[in-house]
Amino acid sequence: MYYHRRPIKYVEYGKVLPPPLSDYDEWSLNMYGWVGHHCGYYPQIWLSRSRSSITGFRCNRSVKKVGYSAKYPKRRQYAKIGNDDVLFGFDIIKGFPLSYDHWELIMCSASCHKTLEKQNADMVKGLNDIVQQYESGEEMEKELRDWIDCGRNLDVYLKKCVFKEVDQVVVPSINLKSAKKIICHNEKQKKKLRKMGFIEDRIIIKNLTTYDW
């Protein structure tokens, strides 16, 4: 099953697009821009394949602005208001694939720069720096061994290892109405989903303990 996490305020009974760009911070826009260069659309809707845990559904918390700090007048204060996300499960999704563990190694480089040239250069440097830290004979993670096996060539590494359907895909839009399983946190969310038109038998309440990353 393919899982997609979405704030309930952006849930509609039908086709939906990614949240507006104003909802993303700068590092996210850089990162998704890099992915968009390769898949052809930006921003993307992300889905996990089989591993619902990597969607962040359990540990994501929403925040709201509550004013300014008395001690630091220019610093915004935020308050946690609980988890307002809903997790949608789909049988079959055809999208642009990314291997989660390989993507984790290079996503920081993608998020720290605005241009593709700098992003790619930082990826190569970052991967080589990590490899160099390993001592002779020390067991290396598979994702790093793959980097060496690809001749430390970024284009080859992306094609053979990163852009491979293992546990993640991205799509430009998705029809939430076709979800076979819908997981929410409480009865209030379930009521909202039911009013939108989602089939009640597909809605499941899981009162999970939320926590921060």
CB 15 within 8 A of CB 45: no
- Distance, in Å, from the CA atom of 143 to the CA atom of 51, rounded to the nearest integer, reads 18
pLDDT for residue 187:
94
Residues of the chain with pLDDT under 50: 60-69, 71-72, 74-81, 210-213
Secondary structure (H, E, C), 20-89: CHHHCCHHHHHHHHHHHHHHCCCCCEEEEECCHHHHCCCCCCCEEEEEECCCCCCCEEEEECCCCEEEEE
pLDDT for residue 208:
59
- The SS3 of residue 198 is coil
CB 143 within 8 A of CB 101: yes
CB 66 within 8 A of CB 78: yes
Q: Can you give the pTM of this predicted structure? A: 0.81
Q: Which residue has the tokens 């590494």?
A: 157
pLDDT for residue 62:
44
pLDDT for residue 197:
97
